[in-house]
Structure 1
Amino acid sequence: MVAEVLVTGGAGFVGSHTVLVLLQNGFKVVVLDNLVNAVSEGPKPEALVRVEKLTKKSVEFHEADLSDSKALDDIFSSHNFECVIHFAALKAVGESCQLPLAYYRNNVAGTLSLLEAMKKHKVHRLVFSSSATVYGDPQYLPLDETHPTGQGCTNPYGRTKFFIEEMLVDLCKAEQQWQVVSLRYFNPVGAHPSGQIGEDPLGIPNNLMPYVSQVAIGKRSELQIFGDDYDTVDGTGVRDYIHIMDLADGHVSALERLLGSDPLQGFNAINLGTGKGNSVLEVVAAFEKASNKKLKYKIVARRAGDVATSFADPKLAKELLGWTAKKDILDMCKDAWNWQVQNPNGFRSSDKN
C-alpha cells in the first residue's frame, strides 16, 4: 500500500523540493500551506504545478493555516496519514528580531495546533524542519547534536525552533507512541537541476544565495556583505551550505526510517549539513565561476543575530539515516544560477517584486 504523507509548508523552498523527491519515491503527498511565503497565480501554487510536471504525478493541495483547527480536522479526517513532515514556518532571521510575536504565534502556536490534530487522529510520526540556529553561538565546532541548544539563541526565529523541539521532547516523554525526527539543517541553497523549481523569496532576499543570484542577473546593483571582521579565513561569516536536493533526500531518508522495520523511537535530533563551512567571499567566488559574471559587493556593518562560524558534524545522519550530502558549493551555485536564468522573476509570470 502507498504511504500517504501530509507536508505542511509544502509550497515553500525546502517543502517543494521534498515533495518532488517524495513523489519520485512513490509516496502519496498532501500539501497544506497558507501561501504566506509562496507564489500562487492559480488554484495551486506554481511550485507544486511544476513539481507535478517534473514528476508526472499529482499533489493534493489545501490552502489553510495551521491555526485553523477545523481545516486541520477536515484534512486529517479525510486521509490516513502515515507521517507528517512539518515545514510551515516564518523563517527570516532579521525579520524575527523585528516581529517576534508574529514568529511565536505562527511557528510555536501553529505547531501546537498541528500536534493536537495529529494526536486526535492518532498520527504519531513526525519529521520536523528544525534549524542549526537552535545551537545559538557555537561553543565548539563542528556542531554535533549533543551541543547545548537554546543557550544564547541569537534571534527569535531560532528560539521558536528551540521551543518547538522542547515541546516535542516533552510530548515524546509523556506519550511513548510518538516517533519524531527533528532535522537541524544548516543553510539550504541551490535548486532542482532542471531549473524548474528553486528559491523564490518575496521582496528583498534574506539569504545569501538568492541575493547573489539577483545581483548576477542584474536585478540588484550589489551585494551587501555584513561584516568582514569576524575571526574567519577572510573575515566574512562562514556557514555550512547544503544543496537543496541533498536536504530533500535527507527528509525522505528520515521518513523511510520512521516507516521501516527498525523505526526510531521518541525524539531524535539529527543534523543535516556537509560538515564543511564556506565564507561569504568563497560563495561569491564560486558563484562568479558558475555564472561567469563579476559580482559587485560592498562590506557593511555586521547584522544583528549573526554568528561568525557555523558548520555541522553530520555523522549521526549517516549512522541513523544512511544519509550524507553529495553536492559541493560549485554544484549549489550552478543550480542556483540555472534556476535564476530560467526564472528571472521566480515563480511569477511577470516582475511584481
Structure 2
Amino acid sequence: MAILVTGGLGYIGSHTVVELLHNDFDVVIVDDLSNSEKFILDNIEKVSGKRPAFYPFDLKRRELIKQLLDAHQIDGCINFAAFKAVGESQEKPLDYYENNLFTLVNLLQEFKERNISNFIFSSSCTVYGQADQQPIDENTPLKLPESSYGKTKQMGEEILKDFATAYQKRVSLLRYFNPIGAHSTALLGELPIGIPNNLVPYVTQTAAGIREKLSIWGNDYPTADGTAIRDYIYVVDLAKAHVKALQKLMATEEDTKIDIYNLGTGNGSSVLEVVRAFENANQVKVPYQICERRAGDITVAYANPAKAEKELGWKAETTLEEALRTTWEWQKYLETRS
C-alpha cells in the first residue's frame, strides 16, 4: 500500500512517515521545504531503514500533483501540508487561506478524478474555539476560531465532509491538541524556521541560550497560575494515531465514511507547568518574562480522547516530562549540526 504524505518532512509528518514505514506502508512524500529541511529525509532513512520517495514541490501547482499520481499507485493520503502558526496567521491571513485551502482542494480534485479514497486530514482543536466545557470531546459544538489558522482547519474539515459525501470517499479528521517532543533517537523533531511560534521549541532555544528569555503571553487568565492551559501530546504517540486511523479507513467496506477523533492526553498543563516540567526533566533553567496576551489565543483546551481509544485502540502513553526530555535531546543534536 502506497501512502502520499504531504508535508512529510515537517514535524508531525516526519514522525508519521517513520511509523508508516514501521508498519510496512510504502510512502511518497511531497514537501516544499518551506518549514523543513532536506536532511530530515536522510534522518527518516536512518531511523526506519527505508528511504521514501520524495518530491520537493508546492501543492498549489496542480500539474505537479498530476505527474506524481501518474508515477505512483497511491492508495491514500495523510495531509500535513499547511502553515500552522496561530499568531502569524493573524498577521498574514490571506497567506494562510491560500496555502492551507488551495492545496487541499488541488489534492481532492485529483483524488476525485482518479477515484482514490482514504484521506486523513491534519486538523486541530482550534476548530472548537474557546469551548464552554472541558474536556473537549467530538460532540463539543464548533465555534468560529479566534485565528485565521483555526478557520482554515474548520473550513478544511467542511470541504472534506462535502468531498466524502458527494464522491463516496472515506476521510478521517484528526483534531489534535499540542504536539511536543522528538523521536527517541534525537534524529527527528520540531524544526522552526526563525523565531519559534510554539511554546516548547521556544523553551528549548531559551534553555540553549539561543533566545535571551521565553515570552509568556499573559498571566491574567482565569487559571490556577494565570497562564493558559493546553493538552500537550507526545509527537510519536500522535504519529501512531495517524497509522491507526488509516488502517481503520482502509479496512472499512463502506464507500462513504467520515471519522472524527480528538487526539490528546486528556490532561491540561499551564504554560508555567510546562516550563517547570522542562526544567525538572533536563536540570536546566529557563529564564522568562510575562508579556501581554497574544491575539487569537484561548484560555483552556484539553481533550477527551475516549473515542480514539475505543474505536482505534489508541491512547497517549508518554508523560509530559519524558516528552520534554526528548525535546532537549533534539535541541542538543541540532547544535552538533551547526
1:90 is matched with 83
Corresponding residue for 2:187? 196
Q: Structure 2 CA distance, aligned partners of 1:200 and 1:217?
A: 15
Tell me by how many angstroms 1:265 deviates.
4.2
Query: 1:74 and 2:74 equivalent?
Result: no
Contact 1:77–1:121 (8 Å) recurs in 2: no
Which residue, out of 106, 114, 120, partners 2:113?
Answer: 120
Describe the SS at the equivalent of 1:194.
coil
SS at match of 1:192: coil
Q: Which of 227, 235, 238 is matched with 1:244 structurally?
A: 235
Q: Which residue number in structure 1 is paired with residue 325 of structure 2?
A: 334
TM-score by length of 1: 0.93
| SS of corresponding position for 2:335 | coil
Q: CA deviation at 1:262?
A: 5.9
Query: Tell me, what secondary structure is at the counterpart of 2:260?
Result: strand
Provide the secondary structure at the position in 1 that maps to 2:278: helix
How far does residue 152 in structure 1 lie from its aligned partner after superposition?
3.1
Query: Residues 34-74 of structure 1: CA distance to partner in whole angstroms, max 9, x if unpaired?
Result: 111112xxxxx111110101111111000111111111001
Q: Which amino acid aligns with 1:20?
A: V
**Secondary structure at 1:344's aligned position in 2?**
helix
**For residue 167 of structure 1, what is the aligned residue in structure 2?**
159
Identity of aligned residues (%): 45
User: 1:38 aligns to what?
Assistant: 36
**Which has the larger share of helix?**
2
Corresponding residue of 2:134:
141
Q: Give how far 1:291 is off.
A: 1.6
In the alignment, does 2:253 pair up with 1:255?
no
Cα deviation, residue 260, structure 1 = 2.0
Q: Distance in 1 between matches of 2:250 and 2:161?
A: 20
User: Which sections of structure 2, spanning at least 5 residues, go unmatched?
Assistant: none
Deviation track 1:97-119 (CA, whole Å, cap 9, x = no partner) reads 01111100000111001100111
CA RMSD of aligned residues (A): 1.2
Code of the residue aligned with 2:299 in structure 1: it is A
TM-score if structure 2 supplies the norm length? 0.98
Equivalent-residue separation in structure 2 for 1:69 and 1:206 (angstroms):
29
- Counterpart amino acid of residue 34 in structure 1: D
1:170 partner letter: D
One-letter amino acid matched to 1:79: H
**Aligned partners of 1:142 and 1:52: how far apart in 2?**
38
Q: 2:26 aligns with which of 4, 23, 28?
A: 28
Partner residue, 2:145: 153
Return the offset for 1:261: 5.2
Q: Counterparts of 1:304 and 1:327 in 2: how far apart (Å)?
A: 31
Per the alignment, residue 276 of structure 2 pairs with: 285
